[in-house]
Chain A
Amino acid sequence: MSEQLVPVSEIQSTDDNVPRWGMAIDLDRCTGCEACVVACHVENNIPVATEDEAAMGRSSHWIRIDRYYEGTFPDIKVKYRPVLCQQCDDAPCEPVCPVYATYQNAEGLNVQVYNRCVGTRYCANNCPYQVRVFNWFDPEWPEPLELQLNPDVSVRPGGVMEKCTFCVQRIQRGKLDAQAEDRKVGDGDIQPACVQGCPAEAMAFGDLTDPESKVSQWAGVGRSTQLLGELGTKPKVFYLEKSD
């Protein structure tokens, strides 16, 4: 894998009070259990594809586990890597959208505005991580599962592109709760569903411009790398490579 190309210490915000959200994932801790995938589906109203649809490549996940085998059986090592939107600072998906439905906001989130999207899929074609998913169908939940939809997140119609938002609804909730209690957002107050759901505590989320935050601490260690960082995408997800 590639070395870390943009050290976390160089990630800056436009304004001191504006955070820049990022994530660090410790591959030593990841067991590939997919609890993050399930948590993400539940939190973000992501439909579950049928077997037939999955066979056609129509399943949608905002986070997936990539699996690598090294060696030959029985001497193999298995390596798991959760892959989600890397919230690139230089995101290849953004400039190719002809209708400005995807852009970088002040907090470094790569935002997808569903009702602006007309479904050209250029963004997904240009994403080196293949983390954008297109809604080929209007989503559907077999009764009574529609009752478990999360009211804080919209249900996206067919014909639009969607992807990981770093659980922007939780980021906003965290900021508004802090505002209501007249305090600052503390490190760890905001957790995306995948981070919260990880039983191995392999993921850290927070403000990359705060050197004291857990995510900055993790992202600053020697094992820290960025996926396909050599492409110059400046990802804000850091992977702590497996130590042998």
Chain B
Amino acid sequence: MLAAPRPRLSSSRLLAVSLSVVAGGLLWGQQQPIEFPHDKHVAAGVDCIDCHSGADVRSAATIPSINKCMLCHERLANEGPGVKLLIEFWNRKREVPWQRVYRFERAANVKFRHAPHIRAKIECSACHGNVAAMTVAQKAVEHTMGTCVSCHRQTQASDDCAVCHF
């Protein structure tokens, strides 16, 4: 890389950044603060888009806020260990610090949008595997450029670089 460090970047700042990168790496996609069972909720009849309410209208599918969990768990199924933890966060007025499972590295310079895919009637499972059966969300599909472009070519969606890289 041609980039030279900027003179104004202090070494203590660098150290702090690298420590937080290490800490982030340990948590990355490994341990969730609560094991959220997708299988049980989907079996209970909750739709993906009820929780991930951005998926059909926005770029990000979005992870639901704790308020949404408590609509149900305030009253029902609140004896289990997971929901007990959830209620602890709720009582402290905190969101659950969920760890991301799917995420492009910043350096990939890729921007993904859910909405056009959901409008084109592509199933969540095409890109995320069978989440409905997962006891905890796992990365089931690798999102490489090949994944995106091969489907785009099959479905006559755009394969112009500017559609994904900006």
Contacts and interface: CB of A to CB of B under 8 A. Distances in A.
Q: Is the interface of A mostly helix, strand, loop or mixed?
A: loop
Contacts of B108: 115
Q: Is the interface of B mostly helix, strand, loop or mixed?
A: loop
B2 A158 contact: yes
Question: Which bucket holds chain B's interface residue count?
Answer: 20 to 34
Contact of A159 (B3, B59, B166): B3
Contact of A137 (B3, B115, B119, B161): B3
B106 interface: yes
Question: Which bucket holds chain A's interface residue count?
Answer: 20 to 34
B9 to A, nearest CB: 7
A155 B162 contact: no
A221 interface: no
Contact of B1 (A151, A155, A157): A157
A119 B116 contact: no
Contacts of B110: 154
A52 B8 CA distance: 10
Contact of B166 (A135, A138, A154, A176): A154
Given A135-B3, A179-B119, A115 B160 contact: no
Interface string A146-159: 00000111111111
B162 A136 contact: no
B48 to A, nearest CB: 19
A50 B166 contact: no
Contacts of A151: 59
A155 B2 contact: no
B163 A172 contact: yes
A96 interface: no
A180 interface: yes
A5 interface: no
A156 B8 contact: no
A2 interface: no
Q: Which of B1, B4, B6 has the most CB of A within 10 A?
A: B6
A103 B107 CA distance: 21
Interface of B: 1-9, 57, 59, 106-111, 113, 115-116, 119, 160-163, 165-166
Given A111-B162, A159-B2, 10 more contacts: A50-B6, A103-B161, A111-B161, A113-B161, A135-B3, A137-B6, A138-B6, A152-B59, A154-B106, A158-B2
